[in-house]
Chain A
Amino acid sequence: MSSSNPLRDPADRRLPRIAGPSGLVIFGVTGDLSRKKLMPAVYDLANRGLLPPGFSLVGFARREWAHEDFAQEVHDAVKEHARTPFREEVWQQLIQGMRFVQGTFDDDDAFERLRSTIEELDKAQGTGGNFAFYLSVPPSAFPVVIQQLKKHQLADQTGGSWRRAVIEKPFGHNLASAEELNKVVHEVFAPDQVFRIDHYLGKETVQNILALRFANTMFEPIWNRSLVDHVQITMAEDIGIGGRAGYYDGIGAARDVIQNHLLQLLALTAMEEPASFDADALAAEKTKVLGAVRLPKDMGRDTVRGQYSAGWQGGEKVIGYLDEDGIDASSKTDTYAAIKLEIDNRRWAGVPFYLRTGKRLGRRVTEIAVVFQRAPHSPFDSTATEELGSNAIVIRVQPDEGVTVRFGSKVPGTSMEIRDVSMDFAYGESFTESSPEAYERLILDVLLGDSNLFPRTEEVELSWKILDPIEEYWDKNGKPAQYAAGTWGPVEADEMLERHGRSWRRP
């Protein structure tokens, strides 16, 4: 965006942040993610008036489609999944910039066609050579697509234009493969032009962690080891692996979720206040705190992995992991993982961070619970406070986004009895409907070149440094504990906390 534009004024807060002239190329446009999330997000952005005039969307896939077929596909996807109402005039604006390029990833002709399509769009739509390439493709296809982009000069930024790469997780499956991937990508795209999507970071509640901590005065003074007893970060899913056996087996819950989502949530919860709210300052603080993470000494005691066995999930009979289609009966892949981490710095020394994730758990929920120490002294007798638990601040990331504060309150009556109550802030109640979908926000940020909400290379590599030793230990020792589908994980995980007199929250 040109800063010399006299119509732009930072004080003019009604004018939305519109992306400059640009286009988006989606590889793997026929995939689920593209249909359910990306295309609707593009439409929603257009509908909110956040895309520049002439914005162009190019689909690249193997399917034999004409431009019209592609437009029809987008149309259907938008009608079905978009969050804002369908409006013909917005559609008319979008459709003018829609193109489809047919080909496989190793097809040189196809990439040449892509290049001429982009050049044609620059002329017809005024996209100014600014294109983001969204790689919604399996990780094995990353290197070939990236190399093709380089070979056909699609990644070259000429005359002030930009070319950006957007990649989805997994960012490797261990440190070595992550470094390899980063090397491949950075060989073609400069590090600041690579955007790694962690859709959790696009969620309002996750961004709100920073607002909650650093815009208020009442939380930060208690956000440290003097008052916090421990922190629990949970991401639970009620579904099984579904049709993802090929991807999931051998990867497991820890690599799939803890390495990216949960460690990012940990970083945001535990980091120090950044000097400013810009990408560099945020990344610096996140890197610092991830670098200070200490692994448990005894991994056998302080990490637990599990596999769901047959059981009942929400009134439905479901099969165990080892019975799922395409899973080897001797598979050691974890569908549940719980680990205890500590952070070696002045603020957090001695405060355990418990991270857990799993499939086929009680219900779908993601939350961060900061649990406080009990009062050092209570003037009430023990019968009065028998039912009083620990105070807690719970940030509910999904579903039902919000913040809950739990504290004790007197039960009405003549006797003194204190019981836990919760005070609730729900996003749905205080601000409804308008909060954009994570992908909307992230795509807009890519087009604007704003990398606040994207993990950087160092963060990805640090996360693998945390997880790799655990995976190695698991690989050599024992096998996953079994837990019945629809429960909150294996008993071993409960024992892991009980040893220190704590227990998991039931989210």
Chain B
Amino acid sequence: MKTDLTDTTASKVNKALVQGRRAIGTPAVGMVLTLVIVTDEENAYDALRAASDAAHEHPSRTLVVIKRVSRSPRDRTQSRLDAEVRVGADAGTGETVVLRLYGEVADHAQSVVLPLLLPDAPVVVWWPVNAPLDPAKDPLGALAQRRVTDTYASEQPVRDLATRSRAYTPGDTDLSWTRITPWRSMLAAALDQVTCEVRAVEVEGEEFNPSCELLAMWLADRLDVPVKRSLSSGPGLTAVRMDTNCGPIKLDRADGSLATLSIEGQPDRAVALKRRETAELMAEELRRLDPDDTYASALRYGVDRLKSSWSAPAPRVPGDSVAKGERGEPKSDGRARLALPAPVEAAAKAPASQAAAEEPVRQEPPALEPVRKATTK
């Protein structure tokens, strides 16, 4: 059942939800969490589809917050909330409310979302794109126990990782981290099979893929050895090579689905390591709602320290990312054009460009040192 409400308020939306449930004959609510998706119109469809697939595992109330772009100064002075309420078969296993915010109310989305949260149930906020640099300080992020960002969808993933590490608050998480769970699990299983000491590691994957950096940082953090990040043409992560005192261990995935695990002295084995859909990632993300300390620890290892941990001269990598930090334009161009005269969007992006302009971290890596130390328990 679908109800459209134009120029409405949160209390009317609540009423529509109750009426909708009554109408389809299931007034009981068995939902376990509220998922708030903050997105633009362009990404809303895919995000909602992924969320409703994930909801098969975690019945939830899904609130999609779409901040609409006002195209003229006149529009901007007017403020309006439109809502689309879906319950029953239209919403999969839970309930879905699509909220479209026009004008000024777009800056006060939390006032719309707060009354619509399920009582006493955890809140997860997910930004498929354009996540704030400090998710916990964001007004919507502040409502949530769990804040899901995705640096993969970011313009400058590596720079964002550094920023996220400074802003990290328990409950933050990143889909780029979720993506590498099967890799981490397989690497841990590989080390279960041998009793060797790892001396050095190389992580190979495509550029602009923060999952590679996260995996490298996790390995460096756990193993306390130099980790080299090298580039390949993908897809995604392509290989991890560990140099141990009893020969090399290699996990190689050239095609994005079936990988080969080779351990010195043991036969090569095929292992399934398929790249996963967003819905699967969200399902994993929603499974645990407690702070992910392992992620925090890996993130706080720091991208800069990662680069310096590899003592061998690797000028290509740092040189490249500095250049990228300054360039930035070519990729962002596409999106900037789509959001053309968009003050709201521009405002949302402002902190990002400021951070890019400041960017003190890259020049002075030691500045990161105390932050990192403070976290290692």
Contacts and interface: CB of A to CB of B under 8 A. Distances in A.
Nearest to A126: B266
Interface in A1-25: 1-2, 4-9, 11-16, 18, 20-21
B59 A429 contact: yes
Interface string B244-279: 000000000000011001010011011111100000
Q: Residue among B267, B270, B273 with the most chain A CB within 10 A?
A: B270
Nearest to A123: B267
B272 A92 contact: yes
Interface string A309-337: 00000000000000000000000000000
Interface stretch (A32-40, A48-56, A230-238, A344-352): A48-56
Interface stretch (B124-132, B152-160, B181-189): B181-189
Given A11-B294, A14-B181, A53 B190 contact: yes
B193 interface: yes
A128 B222 CA distance: 26
A429 B32 CA distance: 9
Interface residues of A, number: 43
B267 A124 contact: yes
B185 A16 contact: yes
B293 A6 contact: no
B56 to A, nearest CB: 5
Nearest to B291: A11
A426 interface: yes
Given A6-B223, A53-B271, A89-B274, A433 B57 contact: yes
A174 to B, nearest CB: 43
A378 interface: no
Interface string B33-59: 000000000000000000000001111
Interface in A409-443: 424-426, 429-434
A52 B193 CA distance: 9
A218 B187 CA distance: 43
A92 B270 contact: yes
Interface string B67-90: 000000000000000000000000
A14 B188 contact: no
Interface residues of B, number: 48
Contacts of B292: 13-14
Contact of B261 (A16, A53, A89): A53
B93 interface: yes
**Chain B interface main SS type:** mixed
Contacts of B31: 430
Contact of A7 (B58, B187, B274): B187
A414 B285 CA distance: 50
A222 interface: no
Contacts of B182: 49
Contacts of A46: 272
Counting chain B CB atoms within 10 Å of each CB, the highest count among A5, A7, A433, A434 belongs to: A7
B188 A15 contact: yes
A46 B273 CA distance: 11
Given A52-B189, A126-B263, A430-B30, 11 more contacts: A7-B184, A7-B188, A8-B191, A14-B294, A21-B192, A49-B272, A53-B189, A93-B270, A125-B267, A128-B193, A429-B93
29 contacts: A7-B219, A8-B192, A9-B222, A12-B294, A13-B290, A14-B181, A14-B184, A14-B185, A14-B292, A14-B294, A15-B185, A53-B186, A53-B189, A53-B190, A53-B269, A53-B271, A54-B266, A87-B272, A89-B257, A123-B267, A125-B267, A125-B269, A126-B263, A126-B269, A430-B31, A432-B59, A432-B93, A434-B57, A434-B287
Complex A-B, nearest 7 residue pairs according to Cβ-Cβ distance, in ascending order: A429-B30, A12-B294, A7-B188, A89-B272, A89-B258, A90-B272, A126-B266
Interface of B: 28, 30-32, 56-59, 93, 178, 181-182, 184-193, 195, 198, 219, 222-224, 257-258, 261, 263, 266-267, 269-274, 283-284, 287-288, 290, 292-294
